[in-house]
Structure 1
Amino acid sequence: MRKIALFTLLSLPLFAGFFPQTVQTSVTSVKGTAITLNEKFPVNGMSGVVIHNYGSDLAAITSRIVQTSSEGPASLLQADILQHDELPTIKTAVAPGDKVIGGYMYDNVLLLAPDANTYAKITSVHDKKWIHPDLFALYLSVEGEERPTKENLSRFAKQHQVGLIYIVRKNAAVLLDPISGTIIAQKPMTDLPEEGKFPFYMRFEPLDTGWFGSEVKGNYYQTMESL
């Protein structure tokens, strides 16, 4: 089928289920921005996409949603589906029977880690499509941003089809859903460097942005705690 891609801590999953599974379900009912799903997502704050079937072997992503309660209700997100200047804007309303993919693109992960050693250890353990942070560093430079924020991570995720942000903090790792802006999983971590480096991963010449200067040097963990 051709698809047009217009693109409480204790409740969070621990290590065994650190990466929530992508799920497929459908819309049962719609009332304003409130959506009832046939099957709830594994965790609250998990985002997903709604796919409408137009017939004639044509379907399209029409909306983004986020689960707002453990009972399963979801809410429509009032934001661009995907950021792409070459794709038309679809204004099809969500309707009962529409397909839903929870955890859309969750295999595409951007990792923010304190040093190259930590980065290598994590990426060698998990079978994911790792979006290299060089790409995010370049994005920040172009945008004139000084440091990662939930807002620029969300914009970056839409542009580059990133499903999750894996963030290494002082003594823990968390998963941020950049579309909902919610931490959806966490686990403890040990043997981390005392100080993180900004940025450890550069493979090109220094960029003209405050994130790469002395202003934020040594504040890696403080910055990650703010996300």
Structure 2
Amino acid sequence: MKHIILILVFVSSLMAGVVKSPLVSIDEQNSLATIKINKIDMGMSGFISHIIADGHSVILKNIEVISYDKQSKIATLKMTPYDALRNNSLPSGRWSVKVGDTAILAFGYTRGVLIAPNDEIYYRITKSVKHLQWVHPDIFATILSFNGHPTPLREDFKKLSIATSVGLVFFFLDEKLYTVDSKSFKILNVTDAHLKQESIKLPFFSRVDNIEANWFGAGNDELEVYEPYYFGLLSEANPENEKLKEAIKNFNMKAKK
């Protein structure tokens, strides 16, 4: 049960609360901003809140932590357009990001979804982490069916995050659990999870038997492999992650035996 305890401890630390910090500088040309904070995880995502009147604020940008200097305690944030509440029938406003606006990070980290190869592993992990609100993968399967993607794409995970306010996605791959920010798709943590995998349900465990497919386009084919596909999906967003590289190497070596 040691690995389950480690998972519980890490998830509990992520759920300690939403991180709020004022912007201390802005580089509009490169779409960057900075905050000063004692501790932050690389890859954490969130948004910038701008006060427009007493008691009223507006969200202006999505943000992602792209670097952190431990000595100066300065975190650099990449800003991108905020699209979670897009409505073409409403005015967008002309507000711009200012020094002193609030960076809000780790929003939605109290909710997660687990991508697991079978029901036994799914229930063992989710039942061990009781302080996280688990969104059932049936909901994700329904979103995939609506999008016509039997093979999940990275964009599908972002749509899941927007639709359900899920902040974290967990992937069980080859006896390890990867904790991933649902929007940036950056790996926040890798934990050993030595659970025996006796079966695989593709594209992941859910009670939805059939996911509708588009006639053509990315994601329209049935997923044929589990670990190789999700390892590849994570590698695209985390090309420099050494733990992921080592895990893929070990998995490939075992597969060749």
| Aligned with 1:17 (options 10, 30, 37) | 10
For residue 216 of structure 1, what is the aligned residue in structure 2? 223
Q: Deviating runs (4+, > 4 A) in structure 1? A: 83-88
**Structure 1, residues 33-90: CA drift from partner, whole Å, max 9, x if none?**
1101132652111111111112231122221111111221111024524456777545
Larger Rg: 2
Q: CA–CA distance in 1 between the matches of 2:88 and 2:171?
A: 29
Q: CA–CA distance in 2 between the matches of 1:87 and 1:180?
A: 27
Task: Identify, as 1 or 2, the structure richer in helix.
Answer: 2
Structure 1 range deviating more: 133-142 or 148-157: 148-157
Deviation at 1:107, TM superposition (A): 1.0
Deviation at 1:141, TM superposition (A): 0.8
Deviation at 1:168, TM superposition (A): 0.8
For residue 138 of structure 2, what is the aligned residue in structure 1? 134
| Aligned with 2:194 (options 186, 190, 196) | 190
User: Structure 1 pair 191/44, CA: closer, same or farther in 2 (3 Å)?
Assistant: same
For residue 160 of structure 1, what is the aligned residue in structure 2? 164
Q: Does 1:29 align with 2:25?
A: yes
For residue 155 of structure 2, what is the aligned residue in structure 1? 151
Deviation at 1:142, TM superposition (A): 1.0
For residue 63 of structure 1, what is the aligned residue in structure 2? 61
Q: CA–CA distance in 1 between the matches of 2:112 and 2:89?
A: 24
Q: CA–CA distance in 2 between the matches of 1:118 and 1:85?
A: 42
Alignment of 1:20-99 (within 5 A): 20=14, 21=16, 22-32=18-28, 33-39=31-37, 42-71=40-69, 72-82=75-85, 89-99=92-102
For residue 3 of structure 1, what is the aligned residue in structure 2? none
Any conservation in 2 of the 1:41–1:67 contact (CA below 8 Å)? no
Any conservation in 1 of the 2:47–2:105 contact (CA below 8 Å)? yes
Identity %: 24
Deviation at 1:153, TM superposition (A): 0.8
Q: Does 1:226 align with 2:239?
A: no
User: Structure 1 pair 35/140, CA: closer, same or farther in 2 (3 Å)?
Assistant: same
**Structure 1, residues 153-188: CA drift from partner, whole Å, max 9, x if none?**
112212222111111111211112121121121111
| TM-score after normalising by structure 1 | 0.81
Greater relative contact order (CA < 8 Å, ≥ 6 in sequence): 1
Any conservation in 2 of the 1:174–1:185 contact (CA below 8 Å)? yes
| TM-score after normalising by structure 2 | 0.72
Q: CA–CA distance in 2 between the matches of 1:83 and 1:173?
A: 33
State the one-letter code of the partner of 1:28. Answer: V
Any conservation in 1 of the 2:179–2:187 contact (CA below 8 Å)? yes
Structure 1 range deviating more: 121-130 or 16-25: 16-25
Q: CA–CA distance in 2 between the matches of 1:118 and 1:216?
A: 20
State the one-letter code of the partner of 1:99. Answer: T
Q: Which runs of 5+ in 2 are unaligned?
A: 1-5, 70-74, 215-219, 234-257
Any conservation in 2 of the 1:195–1:221 contact (CA below 8 Å)? no
Give the 3-state SS of the residue equivalent to 2:67 in structure 1.
coil
Aligned-pair Cα RMSD in Å = 2.6
